[in-house]
Structure 1
Amino acid sequence: MQSKEKSTLRKIASKRTESIYLIARGIEVGIASGLICVAYRYVLQIAESGLNSVLGYIKGSSVKTAVWLAVLAVLGVLVSLIVKWEPDAAGSGIPQTSGEIRGYFSLNWWKVIIAKFTGGATSVFAGLSLGREGPSVQLGGMAAKGCAVLTKADKTSQTRMIACGAGAGMSAAFNAPIAGAMFIFEEIHHSLDKSLLCMGIVATIVADFVSKIFFGLNPIFRYEAELLALKHYWILIIMGVLLGVCGAAYNVIMVKAQLLFKKAEKIPNPVKLAFVFVISGVVGLFMPQVLCGGHRMAELLINDRPELKMLLILLFAKFIFGVFSFASGAPGGTLYPLCILGAYIGAVCGEFSIGAFGIDESLRQEFIILGMAGLFASIVRAPLTGIILVFELTGDMQTLLPLAVVSLISYAVANIIGTAPFYAILFEKTVDGADELKLNSKAAEKVLETFVIPIGSQLDGKKISDIDWGKHCLIVSIERNDVPVTPKGDTELKAGDIIVMMISQRHFSQDLNRVYEIINS
């Protein structure tokens, strides 16, 4: 225990070598997470290609179709057994990763990787409307945890590595390193930490480099959109409002669907997933475009110009099937499918604007891009990540202004409506009833967490001794205007101060939440 505390205190004093350490750890995390996520992405491509081959093979044959549906039922049972073996591999994995970082869980990294890999690939082979991006976030985080465990990193470094691994996983999945770094702060860690920023940027860039080695330099979407004239920006306001309403409705419906699925407690989970997989097979017979993450639907938008009626049919079908797939709890994510939904909402807005307001037809793809960013912002409530992600996905830097307008309006509208962010809802459902981690004396190492005191905080002008931080929390350093300040009981805190707090692992999640509430109130 003493050696653990010495390790923590030694890290506080080692500022001269810290940057080298963070960069080295970032490279390590980027390589490990990048390789795992590249392998997952490749396996999912094989699974989707195999599904397309099967659908072509059984077409027109009732006997072959019946056999395929029976195989899907067996695969559904198999996935249910995988999830039973490792429950933390269910769903997208982003809430579980956040829970690990906030001290609610201690995931078994190698079991999660195996279960997520096999369960996710099987679900995609069955055609469920699930993406690779959410699982890649969890896989990246668990690969980073594996590195931390195997190299015997201290708990603070392990927590940072998991957060950076999650961002690196997103970077490798989307080929979007800046969005991956932003995702760490907006969705995973929720606080600004210079050390985390340094490690995170290195990790996401390295993971993106690893991904590009295997999949090439081209962005995932290659849209060549014209810029909308400023006089037409009023359309973007309407579009932002629409996307905000759609995003809020999406979150409510997703939660309701999960509750309905869980209410069927009398039905064994293997039977539920067997039913879901068979339904996926039936959907594939009549509307294969909506299967898997949505690459077919994306290609349809890129290469063709579907009529408005077809756009609406595909949009509705993808939404319903996506809700059905995700509510089942099968391993798989929603980030890419929701981007596809946003793209189709944008396409519908574009077709309507062209017909009703005389907008030039060359702007059709601009609306598609804006729809992706706007829906992402309203559902996830991470507008900066959404803006950066979309222009990294498309490779078009000129669309930043319209992206910002639509994303920020949709974000504001969703907040005004009052629905919680999608992953915040999932996180609360995941940690609901979770017990505080029971740690023995060998696991009593302290964790360092960094916080920034915001403008308007109740802490501004107060002395450290006047605040009830809790007996398990201790401020060990303060940085003010890039100058270190020695923390004492009579030290006054100021807005903008960067404080480093040492928190015991024994009540980490409770203490961390209390500190967040104190600082942000």
Structure 2
Amino acid sequence: MQKQKVSNVYFSLIYWRDFRLKIFWEGILIGLLAGVIVVLFRYLLEQGELFRTLLYQFFQDGHFFLRGIWFFVLLVIACVLGWVVQKEPMAAGSGIPQVKGILLGLMKMNWLQVLIHKLTGGILAISAGLSLGREGPSIQLGAAVGQGISRMLGRTKLEERYLLTSGASAGLAAAFNAPLAGVMFSFEELHKNFSSTVLMTAVAAAVTADVVTQHFFGCSSVFSFAGLPVLPTGFYGWVVLLGMIMGLFGVLFNYCLLKSMDLYEKTGLSLKQKAALPLLAAGILGFLLPQVLGGGNQLVNTLSIDRIGMNMIFILLAVKFFFTMISYGSGVPGGIFLPMLVLGALAGDLYGQVLVSMGFFQTGYSGNFIVLAMAAYFSAIVKAPITGSILIMEMTGSFEHMLSLIVVSMTAYVVADICKGKPVYETLLNRSLCKQGKAPYMTMPKRMVVEAVIASGAAIERKEVKDVNWPDKALLVSIKRGEQELVPQGDTRMLAGDYLYVLVAVDKADEIRLLAGNKM
């Protein structure tokens, strides 16, 4: 069986054009199915959050007995969430670290179980008011669809990795009406290289999923920032300063997120008890500060329309930050994408109001800093500045602000890098592996086919195959140069832009990427 799978992989490499066309059509199928599932997920979340809002409005008139019943309901939800995570541990948390672990061959996923439990857990947790987002679950739901299609069609592990990636792209595209960000996320965060094959299947899936989403929710952007003036380049010094601040803030976010998870572990509480703490906090905040409940996209839209005082912005920022920590730290299903964007928006609004009050800007430019801060904060936390720029551009409809978005995102990324900040999803993946008693990127007997493009200036550029110090037991299966396939020989000289396909042990995959100059 193993020999047959290797033969199938080699057959795919030999007939590469047919293989790419096949996964292109499979990407469309995955995008269609993932789009429908994420649309269902979004619709149920919207109905759940609407019900929660009406419920707290109803409670404003008293009804103390019914308030007690509501807290009891929250405890019941905590029990259900604890059961969901216990039944399917892969459904816990964001879902993005799990997808990365599967693509690296470090984790396994039962796609149908994850699909059911993630959908159920995410709806309950976010609808009940926890400060969690829909994007992480949407990406994992999309990846589960990709794996399900692969398994039902009997595809190879090589093909399954592409289909998983296309499903994740479709999930993000459908979650935020952001197909370009979905494609870029697959490059920058999941595959860590720009592959034309990944491009074909990811674009097919993301665009198809976005068409499905727009059919049900319309084509408007997630956040309403219409009519923002273009920031003059003479003010870009303030943009750079904002990027620096958000870079430091992003490092703090990652540090506090991991500490909150560690504190939960030290308490020795059960899964149900961990879920109960943030849910009870959500119940209290629902009466005191309901704006911080849920993902928070409505709060961002409020910032774009109404002027909120600086004192209130600071309170919202502080409470939302700590509530996000205790919500995600509990391990219940839900992402941090949307809460981190809300935190960035609040910080950007506060920054803009301070500059306006000091006379550096007119009030009309305040909205620019909300948009810029979201991109910067995402870039500092996730360490994916291109994805951050494109994502915020699509989510806000601010297509004419690309230059300032890139400037602020790269500044935040550089500052976070200088402070030795680690990408949050990679850190969460390593933490999850350590909890399972495995070393980060552990040694495993499994082998995988690694696709790596030779970068200009890489160690193996212009070298012959025989002169490269390849990892132990690595097999160079194929070299693609444009549309031409080269059969590797000892004297084959490798050039920048060549795509290498190497059969190697999982723990040696990163060595191949580093040889090719693909930064990890």
Quick one: distance in 2 between partners of 1:14 and 1:493? 21
Quick one: distance in 2 between partners of 1:470 and 1:19? 28
Quick one: distance in 2 between partners of 1:263 and 1:518? 41
Q: What is the TM-score when the length of structure 2 is the normalising length?
A: 0.94
8 Å CA contact 2:223, 2:297 repeated in 1: no
Aligned to 1:253: 256
Aligned to 1:20: 21
Q: Partner amino acid for 1:244?
A: G
Change (3 A) 1:462 1:21: same
For residues 276-355 of structure 1, what are the structure 2 equivalents within 5 Å? Answer: 276-355=278-357
Q: Partner amino acid for 1:493?
A: M
Aligned to 1:475: 476
Quick one: distance in 2 between partners of 1:17 and 1:454? 26
The farther-off stretch of 95-104 and 15-24 is 15-24
Quick one: distance in 2 between partners of 1:290 and 1:319? 9
Following superposition, the deviation at residue 490 of structure 1 comes to: 2.7
For residues 216-255 of structure 1, what are the structure 2 equivalents within 5 Å? Answer: 216-223=218-225, 224-255=227-258
Quick one: distance in 2 between partners of 1:377 and 1:310? 26
Aligned to 2:497: 496
Aligned to 1:38: 39
8 Å CA contact 2:135, 2:338 repeated in 1: yes
- The alignment's C-alpha RMSD in Å is 1.8
8 Å CA contact 2:86, 2:271 repeated in 1: no
Quick one: distance in 2 between partners of 1:4 and 1:239? 51
Quick one: distance in 2 between partners of 1:127 and 1:472? 51
Quick one: distance in 1 between partners of 2:281 and 2:482? 59
Q: Deviations over 1:112-163 (max 9, x none)?
A: 1111111111111221000100110101000111111111112111111001
For residues 132-211 of structure 1, what are the structure 2 equivalents within 5 Å? Answer: 132-211=134-213
- For residue 448 of structure 1, give the secondary structure of its aligned residue in structure 2: strand
- For residue 480 of structure 2, give the secondary structure of its aligned residue in structure 1: strand
8 Å CA contact 1:123, 1:332 repeated in 2: yes
Q: Partner amino acid for 2:210?
A: D
Following superposition, the deviation at residue 324 of structure 1 comes to: 1.0
The farther-off stretch of 229-238 and 371-380 is 229-238
Q: Deviations over 1:305-349 (max 9, x none)?
A: 101111111111111111110111110001011111111111111
Counterpart of 1:426 (choices 425, 428, 432) is: 428
Q: Higher RCO, 1 or 2 (CA under 8 Å, sep at least 6)?
A: 1
The answer to whether structure 1 residue 511 and structure 2 residue 493 are counterparts is no
- For residue 227 of structure 1, give the secondary structure of its aligned residue in structure 2: coil
Aligned to 2:419: 417
The farther-off stretch of 482-491 and 386-395 is 482-491
Aligned to 1:391: 393
Quick one: distance in 2 between partners of 1:380 and 1:496? 27
Quick one: distance in 1 between partners of 2:396 and 2:102? 32
8 Å CA contact 1:76, 1:276 repeated in 2: no
Q: Partner amino acid for 1:207?
A: A
Following superposition, the deviation at residue 387 of structure 1 comes to: 0.5
8 Å CA contact 2:23, 2:163 repeated in 1: no
Q: What is the TM-score when the length of structure 1 is the normalising length?
A: 0.94
The farther-off stretch of 124-133 and 457-466 is 457-466
8 Å CA contact 2:85, 2:271 repeated in 1: no
Change (3 A) 1:189 1:369: same
Name segments (4+ residues, structure 1) moved above 4 Å.
435-439
Aligned to 2:108: 106
Quick one: distance in 2 between partners of 1:430 and 1:464? 37
- For residue 220 of structure 1, give the secondary structure of its aligned residue in structure 2: coil
The farther-off stretch of 386-395 and 474-483 is 474-483
Quick one: distance in 1 between partners of 2:235 and 2:194? 37
Following superposition, the deviation at residue 437 of structure 1 comes to: 9.8
8 Å CA contact 2:243, 2:408 repeated in 1: yes
Q: Any gaps of 5 or more consecutive residues in structure 1? A: none
Q: Partner amino acid for 1:251?
A: N
Following superposition, the deviation at residue 55 of structure 1 comes to: 1.4
Quick one: distance in 2 between partners of 1:407 and 1:275? 34
Change (3 A) 1:514 1:438: closer
8 Å CA contact 1:478, 1:497 repeated in 2: yes
The farther-off stretch of 298-307 and 94-103 is 298-307
8 Å CA contact 1:104, 1:437 repeated in 2: no
Q: Deviations over 1:180-225 (max 9, x none)?
A: 0000011111122211111111111111111111111111112121
Quick one: distance in 2 between partners of 1:472 and 1:329? 39
Quick one: distance in 2 between partners of 1:242 and 1:139? 34
8 Å CA contact 1:225, 1:364 repeated in 2: no
Quick one: distance in 2 between partners of 1:490 and 1:353? 62
